[in-house]
Amino acid sequence: MNLDAAKAALSHLDLDVNPASIKAKSRDFFWYSPVLKARLDHVTADFVVTPRTEAEVIEVLKVCHAHDVPVTTRGTGTGNYGQAMPLAGGCVMHLHKMNRIKDIQPGRVIVEPGALLKDIDEACAPHQELRMYSSTWATATIGGFVAGGSGGVGSVRWGGLRDLGNIIRLRVVTMEAEPRVLDFTGEEIHRISHAYGTNGIITELEMPLAPAYDWVQIFVTLDDFAAANRMAYDLAAEDGILIKLATVFEAPIAQDYFQRVAPHVGTGQAVVALMVAPHAMGGFLTFLARHPAQIIYRSDSTKWDREPGQIFEYCWNHTTLRAMKVDTSITYLQVGYGSDDPLPLVEEVRARFSPEVLQHVEVTRSGGRVAMGGLSLVKFTTEDRLDEIIRQHEEMGALIFNPHRYTLEEGGRQTVDLRQLEFKREADPKGLLNPGKMIAWDDPDWAYDRMYAWPGLRKAAE
Amino acid sequence: MNLDAAKAALSHLDLDVNPASIKAKSRDFFWYSPVLKARLDHVTADFVVTPRTEAEVIEVLKVCHAHDVPVTTRGTGTGNYGQAMPLAGGCVMHLHKMNRIKDIQPGRVIVEPGALLKDIDEACAPHQELRMYSSTWATATIGGFVAGGSGGVGSVRWGGLRDLGNIIRLRVVTMEAEPRVLDFTGEEIHRISHAYGTNGIITELEMPLAPAYDWVQIFVTLDDFAAANRMAYDLAAEDGILIKLATVFEAPIAQDYFQRVAPHVGTGQAVVALMVAPHAMGGFLTFLARHPAQIIYRSDSTKWDREPGQIFEYCWNHTTLRAMKVDTSITYLQVGYGSDDPLPLVEEVRARFSPEVLQHVEVTRSGGRVAMGGLSLVKFTTEDRLDEIIRQHEEMGALIFNPHRYTLEEGGRQTVDLRQLEFKREADPKGLLNPGKMIAWDDPDWAYDRMYAWPGLRKAAE
Cβ neighbours of residue A454 closer than 8 Å, sequence gap 6 or more? A87, A406, A407, A435, A436, A442
- Kindly state the average pLDDT of the residues B245-270: 98
Taking CA atoms, A103 is separated from A170, A225, A311, B410, B435, in Å, by 14, 44, 29, 54, 58
With H, G, I as helix, E, B as strand and everything else as coil, classify residue A414.
coil
Per-residue pLDDT at A461: 63
Q: Using alpha carbons only, what angle is made at residue A386 by residues A384 and A389, rounded to the nearest 5 degrees?
A: 110
The answer to whether residue B285 scores a pLDDT higher than 80 is yes
Contact by Cβ (8 Å): A3, A47: yes
Which residues share a beta bridge with B275?
A: B217, B245
Alpha helices in B163-297 (DSSP H): 189-192, 225-236, 253-257, 281-288
pLDDT tens, position by position, A251-277? 999 999 999 999 999 999 999 999 999
User: Please, which residues bridge with residue B376 across strands?
Assistant: B333
Distance from CA of A381 to the nearest CA of B (A): 39
Please, is A444 exposed, middle or buried when counting C-beta atoms within 10 Å of its C-beta (0-12, 13-18, 19+)? exposed
B 359-378: CB under 8 A from A: 365-370
Residues in chain B within 8 Å Cβ distance of A236? 368
| Cβ atoms within 10 Å of B200's Cβ, excluding its own | 30
Residue A202 has a pLDDT of 98
* pLDDT at site B340: 86
Q: Which residues contact B338 (CB under 8 A, 6 or more apart)?
A: B345, B371, B372, B397, B399
In this structure, are residues B189 and B424 in contact, taking their beta carbons and an 8 Å threshold?
no
Asked if the Cβ–Cβ distance from B282 to A238 is below 8 Å, we say no
Region B172-194: mean pLDDT is 97
CB of B415 within 8 A of CB of B172? Answer: no
- Given a contact cutoff of 8 angstroms between Cβ atoms, the answer to whether A213 and A278 are in contact is yes
Q: Are A3 and A66 in contact (CB under 8 A)?
A: no
Select from B128, B239, B284 the Cβ nearest to the Cβ of A158: B239
Chain A closest-CA separation from residue B184 CA (Å): 11
Distance CA A125, CA A260 (A): 29
Residue B215's identity, in one-letter code, is W
Kindly state whether B125 is in contact with chain A, defined as any CB-CB distance less than 8 angstroms.
no
Contacts of the segment A6-9: beta carbons below 8 A, 24+ positions apart: A6/A47, A6/A63, A6/A64, A6/A66, A6/A67, A6/A69, A6/A91, A7/A47, A9/A63, A9/A66, A9/A67
Residue B460: predicted pLDDT: 80
pLDDT of residue B415: 86
- pLDDT tens-digit map of A400-436: 999 999 999 999 988 889 999 999 999 999 999 999 9
Residue B286, chain A, CB below 8 Å: the answer is: yes
Which DSSP string do the residues of A109-140 spell out, in sequence order?
A: EEE-TT-BHHHHHHHHTTTEEES-B-TTTTT-
Query: Which value does ipTM take for this structure?
Result: 0.96
What pLDDT was estimated at residue B461? 63
pLDDT at A315: 98
How confident is the model at residue A61, as a pLDDT?
98
**Distance, CA of A385 to CA of A363 (rounded, Å):** 27
Report d(CA A116, CA A54) in Å as an integer: 17
Chain-chain contact of B208 with A240 (C-beta, under 8 angstroms)? yes
The dihedral through the CA atoms of A278, A282, A287, A289 has a sign that is positive
Q: Write b or e for each residue in B56-77: b if 16 or more Cβ atoms lie within 10 A of its Cβ, otherwise e.
A: bbbbbbbbbbebebbbbbbbbb
B108 and chain A in contact, CB less than 8 A: yes
Percentage of the residues of chain A whose pLDDT score is greater than 90? 97
- Identity of the residue numbered B58: I
Nearest to B211 by CA among A73, A427, A213: A213
Model confidence at A462: pLDDT above 80 = no
pLDDT 10s digits, B377-400: 999 999 999 999 999 999 999 999
Report which of A110, A114, A102 is spatially closest to residue A76, judged by C-alpha positions. A114
Q: Are B89 and B434 in contact (CB under 8 A)?
A: no
A118 pLDDT higher than 70: yes
Say whether B2 sits in a helix, a strand or coil.
Answer: coil
Closest CA to B102 of B197, B173, B51, B171: B171
Average pLDDT over residues B118-137: 98
Question: What pLDDT score does B339 carry?
Answer: 87
Q: What is the DSSP letter of A215?
A: P
Interchain contact, B283 vs A238, CB within 8 Å: no
Q: How is A347-400 classified by DSSP, letter by letter? A: HHHHHHHTTTEE-EEEEEEETTEEEEEEEEEEE---HHHHHHHHHHHHHHT-EE
Q: Which of residues 171-210 of B touch A (CB under 8 A)?
A: 185-187, 208-210
Residue A287, helix vs strand vs coil:
helix
What's the mean pLDDT when you consider all of chain A? 97
Q: What is the pLDDT of residue A415?
A: 86
**Rounded distance between C-alpha atoms, residue A189 and residue A172, angstroms:** 10
SS3 A331: strand
Mean pLDDT over the full length of chain B: 97
| Cβ contacts of A168 on chain B, cutoff 8 Å | 279, 282-283
Q: What angle do CA A186, A192, A195 make, to 5 degrees?
A: 140
HEC profile for B51-112?
CCCHHHHHHHHHHHHHCCCCEEEECCCCCCCCCCCCCCCCEEEECCCCCCEEEEECCEEEEC
pLDDT digits over B6-58, tens only? Answer: 999 999 999 999 999 999 999 999 999 999 999 999 999 999 999 999 999 99
Digit-coded pLDDT (tens) for B404-456: 999 999 999 888 899 999 999 999 999 999 999 999 999 999 999 999 999 99
pTM score:
0.96
Q: Calculate mean pLDDT across residues A234-257.
A: 98
Percent of chain B surpassing pLDDT 90: 97
| Strand A201-211 with A169-173, pairing | antiparallel
Give the 3-state secondary structure of residue A2: coil
Residue B241, min C-alpha distance to chain A (Å): 5
Residue from A239, A242, A285, A340 whose CB has the most chain B CBs within 10 Å, to mutate = A239
Contact check, Cβ <8 Å, B107/A208? no
Q: Which residues contact A263 (CB under 8 A, 6 or more apart)?
A: none
For B254, counting Cβ atoms within 10 Å of its Cβ (0-12 exposed, 13-18 middle, 19+ buried), the class is: buried
**Dihedrals φ, ψ of B251, to 5°?**
-70, 145
From first CA to last CA, the distance across chain A in angstroms is 15
- pLDDT over 90 (residue A457): yes
In angstroms, rounded to a whole number, what is the distance separating the alpha carbons of residues A331 and B86?
Answer: 69
Q: Say whether B4 sits in a helix, a strand or coil.
A: helix
Nearest of B460, B397, B437, B430 to residue B177 by alpha carbon: B430
- Residue A90 DSSP code: S
**E strands in B227-381:** 243-249, 270-276, 293-298, 330-338, 357-358, 360-366, 369-379
Q: A239 vs B282: CB contact, 8 Å cut-off?
A: no
Contact B217, B310 (CB under 8 A): yes
B316-331: average pLDDT: 97
Residue A203 · residue A147 · CB < 8 Å: no
A-chain residue closest to B110, CA distance: A279
pLDDT digits (tens, 9 = 90+) for A318-372: 999 999 999 999 999 999 999 889 999 999 999 999 999 999 999 999 999 999 9
Is B238–A368 a contact, with Cβ atoms under 8 angstroms apart? yes
Determine the residue of chain B that is closest to A129 in CA distance.
B211
Question: What pLDDT is attached to residue B14?
Answer: 98
Q: Note whether A366 contacts B236, CB cutoff 8 Å.
A: no
Distance from chain centroid for Cα A66: 32
Interface of A with B in 240-279 (CB under 8 A): 240-242, 277-279
Starting at the edge strand found earlier in the chain, the sheet holding B91-94 runs B15-16, B47-49, B91-94, B71-74
CA of B279, closest CA in chain A: separation in Å?
Answer: 6
Which residues, in sequence order, are bridge partners of residue B374?
A: B335, B361
Check pLDDT > 60 for residue A29: yes
Domains in chain B (CATH in brackets) are: 3-95+430-442 (3.30.43.10), 216-379 (3.40.462.40)
Stated length of chain A: 462
In this predicted structure, the answer to whether residue B288 has a pLDDT above a threshold of 90 is: yes
Inform me whether the pLDDT recorded for B92 exceeds 60. yes
Total beta-carbon pairs less than 8 A apart between chain A and chain B = 147
What is the rounded distance in angstroms from the CA atom of residue A151 to the CA atom of residue A317? Answer: 11
CA nearest neighbour of A220 among A277, A264, A283, A157:
A264
| Half-sphere exposure (Cβ direction) of A305: Cα atoms closer than 13 Å | 4
Q: For residue A146, what is the enclosing H or E element?
A: helix A142-148
